[in-house]
């Protein structure tokens, strides 16, 4: 049985197959409308979510399956002190596959070790968010036509932003990838990513503080929200929260074919006047999230559609 804890759980070939399946689902949704009839997805969310949980649920419903679950720790037996290991053993009796989000790094991994059904990490603390990465890769491949030969600017909260951590892990496997890491000093990528992932694999990267200094070089600008819930004190968050605001003026510095991505939710880091720019890809990205999660559910449940 296969689980998904990190984007690296899939080889480049498996990933390629999954993205191709997602593109086929986008083109021929009817073909897949009954593929998971009689199957159930459990969404176990111990942390808030809009897109990830609802796109998982939409994905299963689009496949003809059913969904059950909870959307906060308060509404589950976690509030009574139940461990994730016990919860997943029970959920394994009720559902065929589970998507789990948890504020503690590693909690979905612990669950997967006790689970009788495939477990998907839907975000664990400030660690990883592999299905957002699948969404991001599908968006990049669909809109740019490739996953190699790209200069990617990652901007904002690179310290706590799990989407950034997972995306870096996934993209370094493709040739000629270069990162420009745009963050204030306090929100730089964790040193384990800088040293053990980027430097160790000889991936070129630059760290800059000003967005304006990077704009002209980018194929992709990946904006992120300052992760308020991971700060130890509110004053630090308030000082950091509006550090970057992408607006029309800054967009004028970028290439015509650059795309702007954001895992969403956005707070202030992209001004709404950028939404109508043809290079703004973040709402399309949310749509790709449904196709790729459909492809992932089919893959983990080993359902094939001819």
125 interacts with ligand NCD by CB under 6 A: no
Active-site residue, from 53, 101, 165, 169: 101
To the query of whether residue 51 is one of the catalytic residues in this protein, the response is yes
293 interacts with ligand NCD by CB under 6 A: no
Active-site residue, from 51, 228, 266, 284: 51
| Least distance between ligand NCD and beta carbon 93 (Å) | 28
51 interacts with ligand NCD by CB under 6 A: yes
Q: 161-220: which residues touch ligand NCD (CB under 6 A)?
A: 162-163
Q: Quick one: which H or E segment has residue 40?
A: strand 40-45
d(CA 32, CA 305): 7
Nearer to ligand NCD, 71 or 132 (CB): 132
151 interacts with ligand NCD by CB under 6 A: no
The values of phi and psi at residue 128, to 5°, are -135, 160
Q: How far apart are the first and last CA of the chain?
A: 22
Of residues 290, 304, 302, the one with CA closest to residue 60: 290
Which residue in 65, 69, 153, 263 binds ligand NCD (CB under 6 A)? 263
d(CA 198, CA 205): 8
55 interacts with ligand NCD by CB under 6 A: no
127 interacts with ligand NCD by CB under 6 A: no
d(CA 215, CA 256): 11
129 interacts with ligand NCD by CB under 6 A: yes
Q: Are 184 and 209 in contact (CB under 8 A)?
A: yes
141 interacts with ligand NCD by CB under 6 A: no
To the query of whether residue 188 is one of the catalytic residues in this protein, the response is no
Dihedral in degrees, nearest 10, Cα atoms 137, 288, 25, 21: 10
| Least distance between ligand NCD and beta carbon 90 (Å) | 25
To the query of whether residue 284 is one of the catalytic residues in this protein, the response is no
Can you list the positions of beta strands (E) in 104-241? 119-124, 150-155, 177-182, 205-208, 220-223
To the query of whether residue 3 is one of the catalytic residues in this protein, the response is no
> Which are the catalytic amino acids?
51-52, 80, 101, 129
């Amino acid at each position: 049985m296969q689980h998904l804890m990190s984007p690296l759980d899939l080889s480049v070939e498996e990933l390629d197959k999954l993205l191709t399946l997602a593109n086929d689902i986008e083109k021929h949704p009817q073909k897949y409308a009954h593929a998971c009839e009689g199957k159930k997805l459990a969404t176990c969310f111990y942390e808030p979510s809009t897109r990830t949980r609802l796109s998982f649920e939409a994905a299963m419903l689009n496949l003809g399956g059913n969904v059950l679950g909870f959307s906060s720790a308060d509404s589950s037996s976690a509030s009574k002190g139940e461990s994730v290991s016990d919860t997943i053993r029970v959920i394994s009796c009720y559902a065929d596959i589970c998507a789990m989000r948890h504020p503690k790094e590693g909690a979905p991994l612990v669950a997967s070790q006790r689970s009788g059904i495939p477990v998907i990490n839907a975000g664990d603390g400030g660690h990883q968010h592999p299905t957002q990465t699948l969404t991001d890769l599908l968006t990049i491949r669909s809109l740019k036509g490739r996953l190699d030969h790209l200069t990617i600017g990652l901007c904002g909260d690179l310290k706590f932003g799990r989407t950034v951590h997972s995306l870096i892990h996934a993209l370094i496997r493709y040739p000629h990838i270069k990162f420009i890491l745009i963050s204030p000093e306090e929100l730089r990528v964790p040193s384990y990513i800088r040293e053990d992932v980027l430097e160790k694999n000889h991936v070129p990267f630059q760290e800059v503080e000003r967005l304006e200094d990077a704009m002209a070089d980018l194929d992709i600008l990946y904006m992120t929200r300052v992760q308020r819930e991971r700060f130890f004190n509110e004053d630090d968050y308030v000082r950091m929260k509006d550090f970057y605001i992408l607006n029309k003026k800054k967009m004028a510095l970028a290439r015509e074919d650059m795309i702007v991505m954001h895992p969403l939710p956005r707070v202030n880091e992209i001004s709404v006047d950028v939404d109508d720019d043809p290079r703004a890809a973040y709402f399309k990205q949310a749509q790709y999230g449904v196709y790729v999660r459909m492809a992932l559910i089919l893959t983990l449940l080993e359902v094939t559609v001819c």
